[in-house]
Structure 1
């Protein structure tokens, strides 16, 4: 299957591209400066040249704090881009896989969020991602949006790599302990896309596989709990483990508000897509093994 992948060097795309090739697919990855997702002519041109049989959108504006000031840019990438992909995919009669975020919710609920819960983003980033979901599915109903959270990998910038870097610089660290969620490794999100593609190719509009589905790692934890696991695993590999102090969100103010509750109910992913949540603790071990082999990743 010819798969157009939007994004090339991000966390998910980096994990996805070799998996697509290993599964026998023919992937083409596009990203700036060679490709502008927000340009309708460039999107149409990519479809005309490559004639994809499926699209996986790994691209996003993810600078949560900067989005408050760069709202137009966030909406261009996160909302206009998915709409253009959806329109092009509908015209070509092909499905789309798209990744979204827990930030579409305000985080005020006491229990994990289900797909049926009403979104209520509190910042520009979440609002732009929600708009992208809506516009994509309006343009191409044969789309799957995987809402996820706390994405990590050996690539790019993420919480795991930040903790490891700070752990080498600081004997003590303060980590937020009142935000709840589940770390999700990019490799598992990439595996989900590879698993879904054959089914999407033949699934008609209205098939329950299409729509919005939550997919994170398991079990739930806090940023502090995740940091404890990171440093425990790092210590087993001879790396430094600083003393951790639990703090509240109020002790670490940021320009954009973070959801206190980022827990997503992933039961639909298991029941409908056949993809249960992956254990992030196993993903962490694999991630650290790779980082120890290639610290520059």
Structure 2
């Protein structure tokens, strides 16, 4: 069987634009390693551990998330051991598991905000992205193979806002090579803040290996943080907000940092172990992306 899989992947690899992906949840080594090194030769492997850990975290009430902080960071310990794909598949929205929106805690506003923040976290995280149909507009009920998708929900601006967000996340992902070029290599990722469990904040830098960078920061509580000092890498004089999941355009409260051409100037004030920082408004239950100017 292993020889067959290797041969299949070698043949598929000769077809331009074709890939193979392994839905595999064991610790079998080298699933996405080349066959000439002894691997199975799949292009990507589903990261089931990441999916399970992060969804358990998101199901927690924000007041309790400080006790589960490592569920969002643990995946980075092994993130580059395979070419991973981050899967939110049909398996997660059937058989009583609830829809993605239903998994989120809080009232309706918080459910949508949590889901938008999670999608932002997912798109900023190393690894390719997979959503199952209906998840891109926050389907309320579980997926049902016997029914069509509830497209009528898009008449509700909250659902349309999630759809607009997924579209814009994909656009950002394509346009900024730092978010995808080194998706499966450790050189494409650096933590800025991984241990702020008290405030449930995560921040990191994505790199493309040629000097381009994107900063991602997540606030997984409903408490906005105005005047937040965020440590930033050297080599940039100002940063601008490129995407904010709390934007009113997506259904959020519109706490943010504007789109001014001048951006946010870098200050010689240490933060997060870095000698430079910027001062930002960190929205509630949101993920924000910053790019250099």
TM-score, length of structure 1 as denominator length:
0.29
Query: Quick check: which one's helix share is greater?
Result: 1
User: Whose strand proportion is higher, 1 or 2?
Assistant: 2
